[in-house]
Amino acid sequence: MAASKKSGGHREMLESMYSVIALVFILVACVELCDAAAVVDVYRLIQYDMSGSPFGSRLASLNHHGASLHFPPGADLSRTVLIIPLRELNITFVREYIDQKKPLGGLLFLLPEVFKSENGGNKQIHEIEKLKSMLAELEKLLIHSNIPYPVYFAFENDDIDTVLADIKKNDAIGQPATATTGGYKLVIPTPEPNKVASPTITNIQGWLSGLKADGEANQLPTIAIVASYDTFGAAPALSVGSDSNGSGIVALLEIARLFSLLYSNPKTRGRYNLLFGLTSGGPYNYNGTQKWLRSFDHRLRESIDYAICLNSIGSWDNELWIHVSKPPENAYIKQIFEGFSNVADELDVKVGLKHKKINISNPRVAWEHEQFSRLRVTAATLSELSVAPEMLEGTGGLSDSRQFVNETAIIRGVKLVAESLARHIYGHQGKNVEIFADGSSLAVSPAYVRSWLDLLSRTPRVAPFLSKNDPFIMALKKELADHTDEVNVQNEVLEGLFTFYDSTSARLEIYQVASVTFDLLLLLVLGSYLIVLFSLLVITTRGLDDLISLFRRPPSRKVKTA
Amino acid sequence: MTMFHFFNCAILTFGPHAVYYSATPLSEYDTLGTSIKAALVYLGTALVKLVCLATFLKVSDNEAFDPYQELLKALIGFIDVAGLYFALTQLTHRNISQNHKFQAVGLGWAFADSVLHKLAPLWVGARGLEFTWDYILQGLEANANLVLSISLAALGSLMWLRKNKPKTLIPIIYLCAGIVATMPSITSIMHTVFVLHSH
């Protein structure tokens, strides 16, 4: 009994040993090798469906040889990734490839470091402007096409530059990279992109209540300041939208900060409630704004005196536009415009008024204030853009980086809005009173503006890829909570025509590979080496006859067995 | 394709050992046991060597050339010779002839060295997509090592096993044995010098 137990224990131990050994072998076999020539962070072109029709890059995983633009004419590129630096980009070439649906293994666009969010260098501005317009054109092309292969963006660095130089050299010789000639292999091991299940949009609202006189029964009027905070661009992981609408968010937060200072003291507390709204879903016809307004109490909606929407106020020189949906003759519009233009005159900037009627039957909502206007709330959008952007354009894509945003423009914008609001609230219309004077305790803080602008310029904010509890949303909420009495977060499902797919960023591994031909040749050489070695050894140790008999023996044996 | 490359490199690294065993009379006299024992002795020697290296050698951050350290390394290298001595004189297996014994010992020695030093890097490295010449060079090194081990074993057997040696040859044998035993140090010094000059 005891002996059998003992042997059983022994067996058990042996079995566990085997499993340990097997585990070790599996571990050894699974050692993932990352000895690539270069590893680069890459950002995938957005993949989405709009009312069922596919757009963007439809594939994510990549395992092809690389080629440069100098590929030999007539080469088969269906298993090749074209690496195109933005500086050498020929937009008509790309357009031709996409429109004619020519087969390609993939596309990799290299963006100059200038567009990197952390980068603050200012090189030749003329060249950068040229690159920016080119990038904007490329982005527009890519967003609106259906591309059946992976498309990635990466930033130029030394590693990838050396690889590209090498590839160019090979292409110049006329040696296209294929399995038989070696070259560089570009590998992105990502799984098939999945649909983003029920993307949420999160609206954040802050409430700063005004001073109610004792015994006053009526509700105080409310002024709303609204900015849409999410972005949309060719590469969701790079869509930081410094100008659209990072500048608007910064301005809103700074205005909230200034008025919280005023409202914290009962003496300077205005007789207006202030409502701050950071809305999501901006690129999708201001879907979030619509949901936010619908959620309002009827009385609250009635009490809104007017709403100011801030949109792209970060790179203007001298002129801002107030976009409205009601005719300029309207008394409220007139009042708003006069308030703004008075302050603008003092600040030595120009403010223009643009009227664009809304068409209820058209689903396109070009400006955020149009959502207010549809619900008969007086509203206006302050923007540097004179014309409404098209759908999915001017929504903070690739080319909208920190580089092109001017802090002083934002500061002037903040001052313009805050000053005209304050004059309206405290009844100083037409008077020349400077409340937020430079140097006073109520001055616009450039440090605050800069730090928020820098943060926003580092944070991609494409709504479907921002979760409800994203640190960025939490940060916005906390910041607004610091400056207002009450903060509410509203989570809604982004409904409508859009479906999004994940895997927005990945790591690209570039390997220098040997060709199959080389390996075959090597095998041949090694085989002959071993045969020669064998023959030499046999001859020197046993003699030539032995070697010959070695090859003779088997047939004679066969004869015997037969 | 990567498996193919691994296969190629493995052939280059371990093929010659097998060819040597099957082509020479070693296979006819069944000297595999001696080779295996020699390999085990090599394992023990390698362990002792490791302990010695870890104990006596300083780890220098900069790869500067230090003559004292190099001398120490060469001295530790002589542990190999001691191991070979043990394998040649103490191992007896079916009374094989001296002629076959040193070949079997050298072969086992070289094979164990290849397995210990080359197999793991090969498995980890040569299967990757990235192509380098390293593993082919490593295979060639294994070939050279085989020659070196067998010649060292041959010299050892001449020194320790053979009774009637011609008097005039003795110093030459010892000199050769010394050179062969310090070969790793010599190559490392040459490598350092070469690298210093090329930079």
Q: Rounded to the nearest 5 degrees, what angle is found at the Cα of A214, between the Cα atoms of A212 and A219?
A: 40
Contact A513 B4 (CB under 8 A): no
Interface residues on A facing B, Cβ-Cβ cutoff 8 A: 28, 31, 33, 35-37, 179, 182, 185, 187, 509, 511-514, 516, 519, 522-523, 526-527, 530, 533-535, 537-538, 541-542
Q: Which of residues 106-145 of B touch A (CB under 8 A)?
A: 123-125, 127-131, 136
This prediction's pTM: 0.79
Q: Is residue A562 part of a domain?
A: no
Which residues in chain A have their CB less than 8 angstroms from residue B23's CB? Answer: 533-535, 537-538, 541
Contact A523 B11 (CB under 8 A): yes
DSSP single-letter state for residue A156? -
Q: What is the amino acid identity at position A450?
A: R
pLDDT confidence of residue B73 = 80
Do A436 and A530 lie in one domain? The reply is no
Q: What CA–CA distance (Å, rounded) separates A68 from A447?
A: 44
Q: Containing domain of residue B109, as a range?
A: 2-198
User: Beta strands A319-324 and A350-355: pairing type?
Assistant: parallel
**What's the token pair of residue A259?**
């008025």
Selection from A75, A46, A227 nearest residue A143 by Cα: A46
Query: What ranges make up the beta strands (E) of A88-199?
Result: 106-111, 146-147, 151-155, 183-188
Q: What is the amino acid identity at position A69?
A: L
Which residues in chain B have their CB less than 8 angstroms from residue A28's CB? Answer: 123
For the domain that residue A300 is a member of, what is the CATH number? 3.40.630.10
Q: Containing domain of residue A549, as a range?
A: 521-557
**Closest Cα in chain A to B19:** A534
Contact A523 B8 (CB under 8 A): yes
Nearest-CB residue to B4 (from A35, A512, A519): A519
Question: Around Cβ B149, how many Cβ atoms within 10 Å?
Answer: 26
Q: Is residue A500 part of a domain?
A: no
**What's the token pair of residue A149?**
């292969």
Do A185 and A104 lie in one domain? The reply is yes
Beta-bridge mates of residue A355: A324
> Residue with structure tokens 């962070």?
A41
B99 touches chain A (CB under 8 A): no
Contact A187 B124 (CB under 8 A): no
From residue A388, alpha-carbon distances to A311, A341, A368, A370, A414 in Å are: 11, 21, 11, 11, 22
**What's the token pair of residue B172?**
């030459």
Alpha helices in A427-457 (DSSP H): 446-456
Q: What is the ipTM of this complex?
A: 0.85
Q: Put the strands of the sheet holding A486-493 in their side by side order.
A: A350-355, A319-324, A379-383, A304-311, A222-228, A273-279, A200-208, A486-493
Do A290 and A397 lie in one domain? The reply is yes
Nearest-CB residue to B129 (from A511, A537, A538): A511
Backbone angles phi, psi at B115, to 5 degrees: -60, -45
pLDDT confidence of residue A20 = 63
The tally of CA atoms less than 13 A away on the side-chain side of residue A218 is 7
Q: Is residue A146 part of a domain?
A: yes
Contact B1 A519 (CB under 8 A): yes
Do A241 and A181 lie in one domain? The reply is no
Query: For chain A, how many helices (H) and strands (E)?
Result: 14, 19
pLDDT confidence of residue A3 = 46
Contact A534 B22 (CB under 8 A): yes
Nearest-CB residue to B24 (from A37, A514, A537): A537
Do A486 and A382 lie in one domain? The reply is yes
> Residue with structure tokens 């020349």?
A432
Instruction: Evaluate whether A239 touches A232 at the Cβ level (below 8 Å).
Output: yes
Contact A533 B23 (CB under 8 A): yes
Contact B1 A537 (CB under 8 A): no
Nearest-CB residue to A530 (from B15, B24, B129): B15
Backbone angles phi, psi at B73, to 5 degrees: -60, -45
C-alpha dihedral over B115, B121, B124, B129, to 10 degrees? Answer: -120
Q: What three-state secondary structure class fits A232?
A: coil
pLDDT confidence of residue A462 = 92
Contact B24 A28 (CB under 8 A): no
Instruction: Evaluate whether B74 touches B91 at the Cβ level (below 8 Å).
Output: no
Residue of A30, A33, A185 to mutate, interface with B, max B Cβ within 10 Å:
A33
H or E element, residue A56: strand A53-57
Do A189 and A332 lie in one domain? The reply is no
Alpha helices in A295-368 (DSSP H): 298-303, 331-347
- CA B110, chain centre distance (Å): 5
Residue stretches of chain A with pLDDT short of 50: 1-6, 30-34, 557-562
B59 touches chain A (CB under 8 A): no
Contact B129 A522 (CB under 8 A): no
Q: What CA–CA distance (Å, rounded) separates A12 from A8?
A: 6
Do A228 and A363 lie in one domain? The reply is yes
Contact A35 B136 (CB under 8 A): no
Nearest-CB residue to A512 (from B4, B16, B131): B131
Domains: count for chain A: 3
Q: Which residues contact B46 (CB under 8 A, 6 or more apart)?
A: B112, B116
Res B74 pLDDT > 90? no
The tally of CA atoms less than 13 A away on the side-chain side of residue B41 is 26
Least confident of A83-92, A354-363, B53-62, B177-186: B53-62
Nearest-CB residue to A33 (from B11, B128, B136): B128
Mean of pLDDT values over B81-110: 83
Domains: count for chain B: 1
Contact B136 A522 (CB under 8 A): yes
Q: Helix-strand-coil percent breakdown of chain A, rounded to 5?
A: 45, 20, 35
Do A375 and A465 lie in one domain? The reply is yes
Q: Is residue A33 part of a domain?
A: no
C-alpha dihedral over B154, B158, B159, B165, to 10 degrees? Answer: -160
Contact B130 A512 (CB under 8 A): yes
Q: What three-state secondary structure class fits A366?
A: coil
